[in-house]
Amino acid sequence: MLLIHERNGRYTCQRGLLAVFVYVFVSTRVLNYLKFRLHIFHVKQFFHGYFRIHILFTSLLGLLLLSGCNLNSRMSTFKARGPVAEAQLDLFYITLWVVVGLFIAVGGVLLIAVIKFREKKGDTSPLPSHGHGNPLVEIGLIGGSVLLLVVIAVPTLRAIWFTHDLPIQPESELKAWYPGDDVAEGEESNILTVNVIGYQWWWAFEYPQLGITTANELIIPAGKAVKLNLRSVDVIHSFWLPQIAGKVDLIPGRANYMWIQAGDTFEKWAEKNVPEGSEAGQKLAYENYLEDEIHDYYYGQCAEFCGESHARMLFRASVVGDDEFGAWVSDIKTGNQAPEGMSWKDWYANYDKSPEVLTGDVHEGLKLFMGRAKCATCHAVNGNPRALGVAGPNLTHLARRYSLAAGWLNHRTEDGAVDIEQQYKNFVKWIDKTEEVKPGNLMWKANGGGIGELIDAEGELSLLTEEEVHKISIYLQTLK
């Protein structure tokens, strides 16, 4: 049970299998040791009993741990929610069935041979004759394997091409669905592009056609193809959003790309569902399909070991409707206001000349954010003209996000709201115990610039106090 509370089911599964493996390995070793070192292998009775318990225990352990393998989780590749993941899942099944067929054929022959030709009590007949060199069998086996390889190769190549080439889909072009009028010139006939940039241990998502940047929570429109340019600023990372698409690496100095799509286009959906009724009725049914099955919250993860906190380099994706997407873009552009409805100009006039008039947790939190705590040297908040840092995630509308620290701390309720109390706790935890939450991360220690290295006027280490952490967290909660 210890293992089964993990964040997204995947670890539980892997660790479960690992645990069974380790148990079997270690116990066989121990058994061998006892047998040969202590010369007690003649005590047949003992081992007979032991083996029974051994097998029983292994199976029970295996079953218990496998029950943690949730094929229905937000990270399950068996619950494909878009054409790319579907193509990959289909390929998996084709390969699986071919291999299962092979297993049954080979295993069956072996089983028959073992049973039919085994030595019976009092059997004195000579060994059965060997039959190798039979041309029919030899050619048949070669031909059979070639055929099976072709059966696997054809769909594999087709899937590789399908997932590699950007799809030609007029309904995915920005001009066909994007509700705003702020698309960069010449981009209207292209599909939405997101630059995914891997950092140790978080993700930046830039939308160059729309002029915005966000971090760790990707927002994409339902039913539209999206191009992802995959870049890394440090080491190799790998973008993996299991329900939407398989992994592609982000390699320094190499321009990889992929396309993803959450949900089918109308045409594809209609093909699968053979809809009846008027066109308007069909469109409505299609909208419902997007709403019910595709608008959702998806889990992703870096899938290439990239250093100390690799295992905590997750990300999330929200798939939303076209209008919601448009509204989100314009909100990110507008950015966040200064506290209590002040203009940034007024706020900074006070901050520069008489900061003591800015009182209360929110103002004081912001003063710390801009000043002593140095948050703004690494973080940008759109709207705030002096928060322009780029070494860390962009924090615009941070309080609307459902997670923190690249998906590691979660504050989303089951029904899709932000859990305000949990969010506060997560902010405090992250600022106060950054290093514990994500070992080695570059916010805590960054060549003297991190918040684990703050110094006072005398040059002595002077970490943020509990009171200061509280104020900053209260301020962060206003970034709605």
Build a one-symbol-per-residue string for 278-317: x at contacts with ligand HEC by CB under 6 A, - elsewhere.
-------------------------------x--------
Q: How many Å from the N-terminal Cα to the C-terminal Cα in the chain?
A: 37
CA-nearest of 208, 163, 405, 417 to 297 is: 417
In one letter, which amino acid is 137? V
Instruction: Give the interface segment with ligand HEC, choosing from 74-82, 112-120, 249-257, 373-381 (CB under 6 A).
Output: 373-381
Name the residue nearer to Cu ion (CB basis): 200 or 473.
200
Q: Which does 306 bind (CB under 5 to 8 A by kind): ligand HEC, Cu ion, none?
A: Cu ion
Residue 237 interacts with which of ligand HEC, Cu ion, none, CB < 5 to 8 Å by class: Cu ion
Write down the least CB distance from residue 245 to ligand HEC, Å.
22
SS3 of the chain: the string is CHHHHCCCCHHHHHHHHHHHHHHHHHHHHHHHHHHHHCCCCCCHHHHHHHHHHHHHHHHHHHHHHHCCCCCCCCCCCCCCCCHHHHHHHHHHHHHHHHHHHHHHHHHHHHHHHHHHCCCCCCCCCCCCCCCCCCHHHHHHHHHHHHHHHHHHHHHHHHHHHHHHCCCCCHHHEHHHHCCCCCCCCCCCCCEEEEEEEEECCEEEEEECCCCEEEECEEEEECCCEEEEEEEECCCCEEEEECCCEEEEEECCCCCEEEEEECCCCHHHHHHHHCCCCCHHHHHHHHHHHHHHHHCCEEEEEECCCCCCCHHHCEEEEEEECHHHHHHHHHHHHHCCCCHHHCCHHHHHHHHHHCHHHCCCHHHHHHHHHHCCCCHHHCCECCCCCCCECCCCCCCCCHHHCCEECCCCEECECCCCCECHHHHHHHHHHHHHCHHHHCCCCCCCCCCCCCCCCCECCCCCECCCCHHHHHHHHHHHCCCC
Could you tell me the sign of the dihedral formed by the alpha carbons of 447, 451, 457, 459, in that order? negative
Angle at alpha carbon of residue 104, lines to 103 and 110, rounded to 5°: 90
Contact, 302 vs 310, CB < 8 A? yes
Part of the chain binding ligand HEC (CB under 6 A), chosen from 3-11, 247-255, 270-278, 393-401: 393-401
Stretch that binds ligand HEC, among 266-274, 281-289, 292-300, 376-384 (CB under 6 A): 376-384
Closest distance to ligand HEC from the beta carbon of 313 (Å): 7
Judged by CB under 6 A, the chain residues 432 through 461 that form the site for ligand HEC are 438, 441-443, 446, 449-451
Cβ 238 to Cu ion shortest distance, Å: 7
Residue with tokens 């055929």: 147
Q: To the nearest whole angstrom, how small is the minimum distance from the Cβ of residue 378 to ligand HEC?
A: 3
Number of residues near ligand HEC (by CB under 6 A): 31
In the list ligand HEC, Cu ion, none, the entry touching 450 (Cβ below 5 to 8 angstroms by class) is ligand HEC
Residue with Cβ nearer Cu ion (13 or 306): 306
Binding of residue 201 to ligand HEC (CB under 6 A):
yes
Query: In the set 215, 290, 313, 406, which binds Cu ion (CB under 5 A)?
Result: 313
Q: Any contact of residue 405 with Cu ion (CB under 5 A)?
A: no
Buried/exposed code over 336-350 (b: 16+ C-beta within 10 A; e: otherwise): bbbbeeeebeebbeb
User: Of 363, 374, 397, 411, which lies in the binding site for ligand HEC, with binding defined by CB under 6 A?
Assistant: 374
Q: Tell me the per-residue interface mask from 52 to 71 with ligand HEC, x by CB under 6 A, - otherwise.
A: --------------------
User: What x-and-dash track marks residues 137-156 binding ligand HEC by CB under 6 A?
Assistant: --------------------
**Window 264-303: contact mask with Cu ion (x via CB under 5 A):** --------------------------------------x-
User: Which of 306, 398, 437, 442: binder of Cu ion (CB under 5 A)?
Assistant: 306
Q: Is 197 in the site for ligand HEC (CB under 6 A)?
A: no
In whole angstroms, the minimum distance from the beta carbon of 307 to Cu ion comes to 7
The nearer residue to ligand HEC, 339 or 449, going by C-beta atoms, is 449
Establish if 365 lies at the interface with ligand HEC (CB under 6 A). no
Judged by CB, which is closer to ligand HEC: 290, or 381?
A: 381
Instruction: Kindly tell me which of 294 and 376 has the beta carbon lying closer to ligand HEC.
Output: 376
* Residues at the interface with ligand HEC (CB under 6 A): 201-202, 215-216, 309, 369, 373-375, 377-379, 391-393, 395, 398, 404-406, 430-431, 438, 441-443, 446, 449-451, 472
* Residues at the interface with Cu ion (CB under 5 A): 237, 302, 306, 313
